[in-house]
Amino acid sequence: MSMASALWHGFADMGAVEQKGPFVVSRGEGAYIWDDRGNRYLDATAGLWFTNVGHGRAEIADAVAQQLRTVAHFSNFGDFVPETTATLADRLATIAPVPGSKIFFTSGGSDSVDTAAKLARRYWHEMGKPSKTIVVGRQKAYHGMHVAGTALAGIPANREGYGELMADAATVAWNDAKGLLELIEKIGADTIAAFFCEPVIGAGGVYLPPEGYLAEVRDICREHDILFVVDEVVTGFGRIGGEWFASTRFDLQPDMMTTAKGLTSGYVPMGAVFIAPRVAEPFYAGGIWWRHGYTYGGHAGAAAAALANLDIIERENLLAESKRLESSLHEHLAPLADHPRVEEVRSGLGAVAAVQLADPAEALPFVNTLREHGISGRAAGQGAMQISPAFVMTDEQVAQLADGIRRALG
């Protein structure tokens, strides 16, 4: 809409962006955003899966401003910690899927994944099993864009052109636990540090887990002494519907759980790794340094945003609203599968859905067509339209969303 700027966009064909100009977002309120020309759009994706409480929450902005006036940040290396950061860690521990979990703060989801990958390896080193170094992911899976996350994720296009990012990474089928068993039989459990699993595959295209799959891979990891890492960067903090985490809803008891996005609803960058007592204990015994951390991990201003965000989720009962959206999205979007341009609709678990186009090449042009019908959307996976609205989106707005997609399909 506006002229090109000096900004290099992520995940973009910059030649095309320069030619057409960027889509400039000027403001947001609730489930809507406005562009720099004053046009309003229904935000189908909550930014990038993260604006769980909706746009324009002055309460969060005020909490951050107050914190920045008091002390903006101080590192939590060594024995230092900002007061607000400590308060948030204790609050997160009360909703952790595994009682007694410790909280390690990061600056975002990619940080959280790399933190978990490093900690998994270091844990086995401390346990006298240094050969356990391989981290395993699934086809279609997305685990952020740092080296470890890119290497263990199951999206080959994201790895092209970099050479070998990390030797000790493996990929198995996304939808069949037997793939994990076969890998264990092939290379031995004594070489595998951890298995990373998104409860619902997000950026890879919104793929729901087959019935019983999550419990099955959890049990395989337990039986073979492999750390079970659940990546809840997308599903965490209510997006799974009805619970804080998929790990709670499905009783996954993760050894580690990676989070970010919904922790602050994206108002300030922040991530957190929930670490079960089993993994934390060797490092709390005394005499061991884990030489890992981020300057802005547990940023005090971000912690203030997170606390205000959690207050809103609890006060407005947004976990229940996310469960409502689980049904509403399924009800309104599933009929789109009958359209000849749609291959299938994936919905029915959490406040997420995907409308899979029959021709993946149509996805990017379709995003632009959606805007003509008042919807801000995004392509994910191979030709799927990502749906992941704010929890404040009403059933009436969901109906408008479905109608807009239908009109855009023609």
Q: Please name which of 296, 276, 295 lies closest in space to residue 284, comparing C-alpha atoms.
A: 276
Q: Tokens 């049904």 appear where?
A: 327
Residue 341's DSSP bridge partners are: none
Q: Which pLDDT score, from 0 to 100, does residue 1 have?
A: 44
Q: Which pLDDT score, from 0 to 100, does residue 389 have?
A: 98
Q: Which of left, alpha, beta for 11 (phi over 0: left; psi -120 to 50: alpha)?
A: left
Order of strands, edge to edge, in the sheet holding 134-138? 102-106, 271-275, 256-259, 227-231, 192-197, 134-138, 169-172
Residue 359 CB partners (closer than 8 Å, separation 6+): 341, 383
Q: Give pLDDT < 50 ranges for the chain.
A: 1-2
Q: Which pLDDT score, from 0 to 100, does residue 351 have?
A: 98
Q: Please name which of 217, 205, 104, 102 lies closest in space to residue 153, comparing C-alpha atoms.
A: 205
Whole-prediction pTM value? 0.98
For 150-174, the pLDDT digits (tens) are 999 999 999 999 999 999 999 999 9
The SS3 of residue 330 is helix
Q: Which pLDDT score, from 0 to 100, does residue 140 have?
A: 98
Instruction: Report the share of the chain in percent with pLDDT over 90.
Output: 99
Q: Which pLDDT score, from 0 to 100, does residue 85 have?
A: 98
